[in-house]
A = this chain, B = another copy of it.
Amino acid sequence: MEPRLDTQTGYLLVKLGALAGARFDGVLAPLGLRGRHVRVIEEMRGASHSQQELCQATGLDRTTMVAVLDDLEQRGYARRSRSTADRRKHVVTLTGAGERAFKEAARALADAQEAFLAPLSAGERDQLRDLVERLRTTTG
């Protein structure tokens, strides 16, 4: 007899990932953000990028990027301006408010992660991180 699917590592990984994702979404929601916004902002920090470059860095497609930047611009977290070098491109820059929003989001996410991993000891968390990272870089 086959072992129950829901006792297997693969299934557990899928479920745990979904659970973690929901937690993180829930933490960002009160800030009016979603994961993708945070990832895009993180990418913008320190330097300006074209939308194209942001797409490559984050893996979002360009139509999604338009919507994300619309959101960020509307909240005053980012600004778009035409590139003088290539007028097809938009130079996207992070505002001070955007930087502050990122810090707040990063803190909230770190707290949520801390709570999520709380059942494990420090050593076990390191183990988990190592195993997961290796799977992701090797398998994925």
Contact = CB atoms under 8 A, between A and B. Distances in A.
Copies of this chain, tallied across the complex: 2
Nearest to A114: B10
A13 B129 CA distance: 8
B133 A12 contact: yes
Dominant SS at the A interface? helix
Contact of A10 (B6, B113, B138): B113
A22 to B, nearest CB: 9
A110 B12 CA distance: 13
Given A17-B20, A42-B5, A12 B136 contact: yes
Nearest to A6: B39
Given A5-B109, A16-B136, A140-B16, A10 B116 contact: yes
A20 B14 contact: yes
A136 B21 contact: no
A10 B139 contact: no
